Amino acid sequence: MSDFSDELRPAEPQAPTILAAERSRSNIGVEQLSQHLLSRGGFLERQSKILRVIENRPIFSKKNQLNLARPDRYQLSLARSKELRRLAVQHGWNQDDYRVAQYLVGEVSPYAIHNSMFITSIREQCNPEQMKHWLPLAENWEIIGAYSQTELGHGSNVRGIETTATWNNETKDFTIHSPTLTAAKWWNGSLGRTANHAIVIAQLLLPENGKLRSYGPHQFIVQIRDMKTNRPFDGIVIGDIGTKFGYSFMDNGYMLFKNFKVPHAALLSKYTGVSLDGKYIQPKNQAIVYGSMTFIRASIIMDSRLVLARACTVAVRYLSIRRQFADRDVGGPELSVLDYPTVQVRILPLLAATYALHYTGEAMFKLYWDTRADIEQKGDLSRLAELHAASSGLKACCTLLVADGSETCRRALGGHGFGGGSGLIPLVTDHLDKPTVEGDSWMISQQTAAYLIKRMTAAVSGKCSEPIDTQFATYLRTKQQQQSRHYDIYNNEADILAAFQDRVSHLAHKAYESRIVAKKSWTELMIDLHRLAIAHSESILIENFYNAAFGNQAPSPSIDTSTRAVMQDLFRLFALTTIDAKSTEFVLSGALDTEKLTILTTRVQQLMKAIRPHAVRLVDAWAIPDYLLDSALGKEDGDVYNALWKKAHLENPLNLEVFNPDFRSEEIVMGEGEQRARERMERLALGVEGHEQREGGKAKL
| Residue ranges of the binding site for FAD | 150, 189
Contact map string, positions 672 to 691, toward its own copies, x by CB under 8 A:
-----x--xxx-xxxxxxxx
**How, if at all, do strands 197-208 and 211-223 pair?**
antiparallel
Whole-number Å distance between alpha carbons of 370 and 427: 33
Question: Cα 234 to chain center, whole Å?
Answer: 36
Instruction: In angstroms, give the least distance from the CB of 375 to its own copies.
Output: 28
Is 242 near its own copies (CB under 8 A)? yes
Q: Which stretch binds its own copies (CB under 8 A): 199-207, 236-244, 460-468, 482-490?
A: 236-244
Taking the C-alpha atoms of residue 552 and residue 309, their distance in angstroms, rounded to an integer, is 27
Distance from first CA to last CA of the chain, Å, rounded? 43
- Determine which residue in the list 438, 469, 528, 626 makes contact with its own copies, applying CB under 8 A: 528
If phi > 0 it is left, if psi is from -120 to 50 it is alpha, else beta; for residue 34 that is alpha
The alpha-helical segments, DSSP class H, found in 582-656 are 583-588, 600-611, 615-620, 626-629, 640-650
Query: How many chain residues are in contact with its own copies, going by CB under 8 A?
Result: 177
Position among 135, 237, 296, 460 found at the interface with its own copies (CB under 8 A): 237
| Least spacing, CB of residue 410 vs its own copies, in Å | 7
Instruction: Annotate each residue in 540-579 with x if it binds its own copies (CB under 8 A) or - if it does not, as one string.
Output: ----------------------------------------
- Does 281 bind its own copies (CB under 8 A)? Our answer is no
When binding is defined by CB under 8 A, the residue of 52, 211, 284, 698 that contacts its own copies is 698
Pick between residue 23 and residue 244 the one whose CB is nearest to its own copies: 244
DSSP class of residue 527 equals: H
Residue 248: name the closest of 192, 209, 297, 171 by CA.
Answer: 192
C-alpha to C-alpha distances, 694 to 69, 70, 678, 682, nearest whole angstrom:
19, 20, 13, 10
Binding positions for its own copies, 23-52, rule CB under 8 A: none
> Of 608-667, which residues contact its own copies (CB under 8 A)?
641-642, 644-645, 647-666
Taking the complex as a whole, how short is the minimal distance between the CB of residue 304 and its own copies, in angstroms? 16
Choose among 247, 279, 306: nearest CA to 34.
Answer: 306
Options 261-269, 361-369, 518-526, 550-558: segment touching its own copies (CB under 8 A) = 518-526
User: Nearest distance from residue 297's CB to its own copies, in Å?
Assistant: 17
The candidate with the shortest Cα–Cα distance to 426, out of 94, 106, 642, is 106
Mark residues 171-190: x for contact with its own copies by CB under 8 A, - for none: -------xxxxxxx-xx---
Instruction: Output the smallest distance, CB 229 to its own copies, in A.
Output: 7
Amino acid at 351: L
- Interface map 308-337 toward its own copies (x if CB under 8 A): ----------------xx-xxxx---xx--
DSSP structure class, residue 276: T
135-164: contacts with its own copies (CB under 8 A): 141, 144, 150, 152-157, 160, 162
Helix axes 341-378, 561-581, angle to 10 degrees: 100
- CA distances for 383 relative to 363, 370, 377, 392, 561, angstroms: 14, 9, 14, 14, 35
- For residue 116, what is the DSSP state? I
CB of 273 to its own copies, least distance (A): 28
CA distances (Å), origin 473, targets 449, 450, 485: 17, 18, 15
* CA atoms within 13 Å, Cβ hemisphere of 340: 18
Burial of 671 (0-12, 13-18, 19+ CB in 10 A): exposed
Position 668 contacts its own copies (CB under 8 A)? yes
What is the footprint of its own copies within residues 390-449 (CB under 8 A)?
A: 407, 410-412, 414-415, 417-421, 424-425, 428-429, 432-433, 435-437, 440, 442-443
Footprint of its own copies on 360-389 (CB under 8 A): none
Work out which of 51, 345, 381, 516 binds its own copies, going by CB under 8 A. Answer: 345
Q: How far is the CB of 355 from its own copies (least distance, A)?
A: 22
Report the binding-site residues: 150, 189
Least spacing, CB of residue 522 vs its own copies, in Å? 4
Q: Smallest Cα–Cα separation from 390: which of 447, 442, 474?
A: 447
Q: Which of 103, 340, 550, 627 binds its own copies (CB under 8 A)?
A: 340
CA pair distance 502, 494, nearest whole angstrom: 12
Q: Does 196 bind its own copies (CB under 8 A)?
A: yes
Q: Is there a catalytic annotation at residue 438?
A: yes
Q: Any contact of residue 504 with its own copies (CB under 8 A)?
A: no
Closest approach of Cβ 131 to its own copies, in Å?
A: 22
Name the catalytic one among 83, 124, 438, 513: 438
Contact positions with its own copies (CB under 8 A) in 53-82: 58-72, 74-76, 78-79, 81-82
Binding mask 449-488 for its own copies (x = CB under 8 A): ----------------------------------------
Select from 539, 449, 545 the least CA-distant residue to 500.
Answer: 539
In the sheet where 236-240 sits, what is the strand order? 185-188, 253-257, 236-240
Contact 431, 307 (CB under 8 A): yes
What are the residue numbers of the active site? 438
